[in-house]
Every structure is written in structure tokens, then in C-alpha cells.
Amino acid sequence: MAGDDATHAHHAPQLVVAPAGEVALPYRPHLDGSVQRLAAEVALSPSRFSHRMRELAGMPIRPYLRWLRLRRAFTLAANGTSLTQAPQGAGFADAARLTRTVRRHFGVAPSDILDARRR
């Protein structure tokens, strides 16, 4: 069993910064972004993973994951997914949760941001 753990750790993905400036994570964290799962995917303890993410992303893991979900929701909506479906595709519980998050961070509704992008 210990050999299996060592093999898994040896082949675990690494945390790196992708060319677009975001941290390349081993799977779609906007759908299940628990720190424990993400840390396990890259063979780090949750505390070491959190520390490393702060170094690479410049912010703590939870705000970074929220940013990824927001970005994914707006990408989906900009590509034609409705604002009622895009939040779920990005890992939000529903459109109301996306709206609250966007209003809290940006002071406007998601539709205002999409309208501004289209101009």
C-alpha cells in the first residue's frame, strides 16, 4: 500500500501557472473545489496546498475558486448559454447565487456585465 502512495505522489500533477496567468489545476475545480480534494490531486497537504496557491495565484484558494466560477459563468453566458443555466455549469447552486456573488464583488447584476461586454 505504501508503494501505491509513493507511486501516486510521484505521478501527481504539479501546481503551475498557466500562460493565461491562472494556476493550472488538475481538474475542473469550479464543480468540486474542496481544498482537501484539490490538495490530494497534487499530492500536497491541505495547508501546504493553500500556502502554495497563495504564492502562485496571489490570493487564497477560496477567492481564487470563486473567481474561476465567475469567469466560467460569464464565458458560458457570452457563448450563448442562458443566465439561468450558466451558473450551474460554472458550479453555482443557481442563478440567484451567481447574482448575489456578482453584486457583492462588482456592485452590478450579471446582465449588466454581459451587456457591457457586448458593446
User: Do 68 and 48 sit in the same domain of this protein?
Assistant: no
User: Do 72 and 49 sit in the same domain of this protein?
Assistant: no
Domain limit, last residue, from 61, 78, 107: 61
User: pLDDT value at position 56?
Assistant: 83
Q: Which domain holds residue 104?
A: 63-118
User: Do 40 and 79 sit in the same domain of this protein?
Assistant: no
Report the alpha-carbon angle 62-75-13, nearest 5.
Answer: 50
User: pLDDT value at position 14?
Assistant: 58
In the chain, what is the straight-line distance between the N-terminal and C-terminal CA atoms, in Å? 58
Tally of domains in the chain: 2
User: Do 98 and 57 sit in the same domain of this protein?
Assistant: no
Q: 49 by DSSP, 3-state: which? A: helix
User: Do 7 and 39 sit in the same domain of this protein?
Assistant: yes
Q: Over its length of 119 residues, how does the chain's per-residue pLDDT go in tens digits?
A: 444 444 444 444 555 555 555 566 655 655 566 788 888 877 888 898 888 888 888 888 888 888 888 988 999 999 999 989 999 988 899 999 999 999 999 999 999 988 887 77
User: Do 57 and 67 sit in the same domain of this protein?
Assistant: no
User: pLDDT value at position 6?
Assistant: 41
User: Do 86 and 112 sit in the same domain of this protein?
Assistant: yes
Specify the DSSP element, H or E, that contains 40. helix 35-41
User: pLDDT value at position 47?
Assistant: 92
User: pLDDT value at position 100?
Assistant: 97
